[in-house]
């Protein structure tokens, strides 16, 4: 059973902010991923806290994948424990945090929503230029990694949109 704290996610964001603001895209990246998940996925009620807490915590360990995997889970655990989440829930979040760049064939729905939102954010006006300026960056590869078909379709539309804006 998941514990339902009916958490106000602003409280979670507040405790995460000191860590997230040190990252490359900072706290706004996490906010964007959070909003993308909210707007584009139907999150079952019983998965809501797992999805949204995992999203707020996913990059909490730092900017590199190595740091996110190594330091992220302990930081996430300390914040979630402070908020009163029970240990089994905390461990579920930590498991997602320490694997969120992997691409398993059949991950949990919570994993897939975070993963896809973290890919869709790359097509946002704020983040697109950063990736697009890397020589030979393959956007199609990113699209193919997305698990949900509707999210893949959205990524393709956003890619078109960004490219059109660019040449205008
Ligand atoms: Fe991220």
Q: Is residue 1 part of a domain?
A: no
CATH of the domain at 97: 1.10.3210.10
> What's the CA-to-centroid distance between 117 and ligand 1, angstroms?
8
* Segment among 62-66, 88-92, 118-122, 155-159 with least mean pLDDT: 62-66
Q: Write down the residue that tokens 């360990």 correspond to.
A: 61
> What's the CA-to-centroid distance between 34 and ligand 1, angstroms?
10
Predicted confidence at residue 5, as pLDDT, reads: 62
Q: Is residue 34 part of a domain?
A: yes
Expressed in angstroms, the distance from the first to the final Cα of the chain is 52
Mean pLDDT of the 1-27 span: 84
> What's the CA-to-centroid distance between 59 and ligand 1, angstroms?
6
Residue 62 makes CB contacts below 8 A (sequence gap 6+) with: 19, 22, 23, 68, 71, 72
Predicted confidence at residue 85, as pLDDT, reads: 95
> What's the CA-to-centroid distance between 33 and ligand 1, angstroms?
7
pLDDT at 2 over 60: no
Q: Write down the residue that tokens 């991950």 correspond to.
A: 107
Q: Is residue 68 part of a domain?
A: yes
Q: How confident is the model at residue 20 (pLDDT cuts 50, 70, 90)?
A: very high
Q: Is residue 3 part of a domain?
A: no
Q: Is residue 93 part of a domain?
A: yes
Q: For the segment 113-133, what is each residue's pLDDT rounded down to a tens digit?
A: 999 999 999 999 999 999 999
Domain that holds residue 24: 9-167
Predicted confidence at residue 1, as pLDDT, reads: 43
Predicted confidence at residue 118, as pLDDT, reads: 98
> What's the CA-to-centroid distance between 19 and ligand 1, angstroms?
13
> What's the CA-to-centroid distance between 121 and ligand 1, angstroms?
8
> What's the CA-to-centroid distance between 20 and ligand 1, angstroms?
10
Q: Is residue 2 part of a domain?
A: no
Structurally, how many domains does the chain consist of? Answer: 1
Predicted confidence at residue 168, as pLDDT, reads: 54
């Amino acid at each position: 059973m998941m514990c339902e704290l009916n958490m106000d996610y602003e409280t979670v964001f507040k405790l995460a902010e000191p860590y997230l603001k040190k990252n490359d895209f900072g706290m706004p990246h996490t906010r964007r991923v959070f909003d993308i998940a909210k707007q584009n996925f139907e999150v079952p009620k019983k998965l809501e806290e797992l999805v949204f807490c995992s999203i707020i915590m996913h990059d909490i360990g730092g900017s590199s994948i190595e740091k996110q995997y190594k330091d992220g889970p302990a930081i996430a655990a300390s914040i979630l424990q402070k908020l009163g989440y029970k240990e089994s829930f905390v461990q579920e979040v930590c498991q997602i945090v320490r694997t969120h760049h992997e691409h398993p064939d059949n991950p949990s729905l919570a994993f897939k929503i975070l993963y896809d939102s973290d890919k869709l954010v790359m097509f946002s006006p704020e983040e697109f230029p950063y990736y697009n300026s890397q020589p030979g960056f393959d956007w199609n590869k990113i699209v193919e990694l997305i698990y949900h078909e509707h999210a893949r379709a959205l990524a393709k539309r956003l890619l078109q949109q960004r490219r059109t804006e660019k040449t205008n």
